[in-house]
Amino acid sequence: MLLSKKASLLIFGIMVIFIVFSLMKSSPMSSAEVDEYINKINKLSHVPGGQHDIEELRRFLSSDDGEAFYTVNLYKYHQHAQYLTDDEPSISGVAAYDKFSQVMVKLLLTNYSYPVFGSNWLDLSDKGWDKIVIVKYRSRRDMAKIFSDPKFSLASKDKWASIKKHDRFVVKALHLPEAYMLLIFLFFIAVSVFFKRRNR
């Protein structure tokens, strides 16, 4: 039972820390910071790594307000992944994107950002998209950290091999958590209270 108590408190603590840090508003990036991140991104491989419109990215980072935002991403996959070299595996576009996602999700979480919604069911769309993914970024600084990470550039070869077309737009919104997330949070609070009273 002692192990169960420690595990419960540890999980609860991690959840609280992640939530607190993900909700913290950061200060806007300075011009020097923007230049630093742009220089780091420019030094990474772009064939076919992180393919950015650098001037558009610079404008986006320069107008940083320190607040969280969401990216809405639409993807249409190649039937077979289109790698630039023959030494890459012969896999489907979906499988190649899954390889990229495994790296991207880790980078998001380590920068207090995370995907909030994803679906392969777009039957009511007449635009031919295969997948929609919505990602919450804590700040533009966190996005810049991800884009300037060599792991992102290396994994991007799988992303660009996977997608036939891609559209993305940025929005600001209030994200209302799913009910089950609130129930999990309340469960860990109840467990903590239970163990605290039991040890009195």
- CATH for 166: 3.30.70.100
Q: Are 78 and 91 in contact (CB under 8 A)?
A: no
Total number of domains constituting the chain: 1
Instruction: For residue 36, tell me if it sits in a domain.
Output: yes
For residues 155-182, average pLDDT: 81
Instruction: For residue 173, tell me if it sits in a domain.
Output: yes
> What pLDDT sits at residue 3?
47
Q: What is the pLDDT of residues 19-34, one digit of tens each?
A: 555 566 678 999 999 9
Q: What is the pLDDT of residues 73-112, one digit of tens each?
A: 999 999 999 998 888 889 999 999 999 999 999 999 999 8
Stated pTM of the model: 0.76
Instruction: For residue 148, tell me if it sits in a domain.
Output: yes
Instruction: For residue 2, tell me if it sits in a domain.
Output: no
Instruction: For residue 99, tell me if it sits in a domain.
Output: yes
> DSSP secondary structure string, 99-150?
HHHHHHHHHHHHTT-EEEEEES--TT-SS---EEEEEEES-HHHHHHHHTSH
Kindly indicate the confidence band of residue 126, based on its pLDDT and cuts at 50, 70 and 90. Answer: low
> What pLDDT sits at residue 177?
60
Instruction: For residue 20, tell me if it sits in a domain.
Output: no
**Domain that residue 35 falls in:** 26-180
Among 36-40, 150-154, 187-191, the least confident range: 187-191
> What pLDDT sits at residue 50?
82
> What pLDDT sits at residue 189?
67
**Residue 36 confidence (pLDDT) above 90:** yes
Instruction: For residue 192, tell me if it sits in a domain.
Output: no
Among 4-8, 57-61, 122-126, the least confident range: 4-8
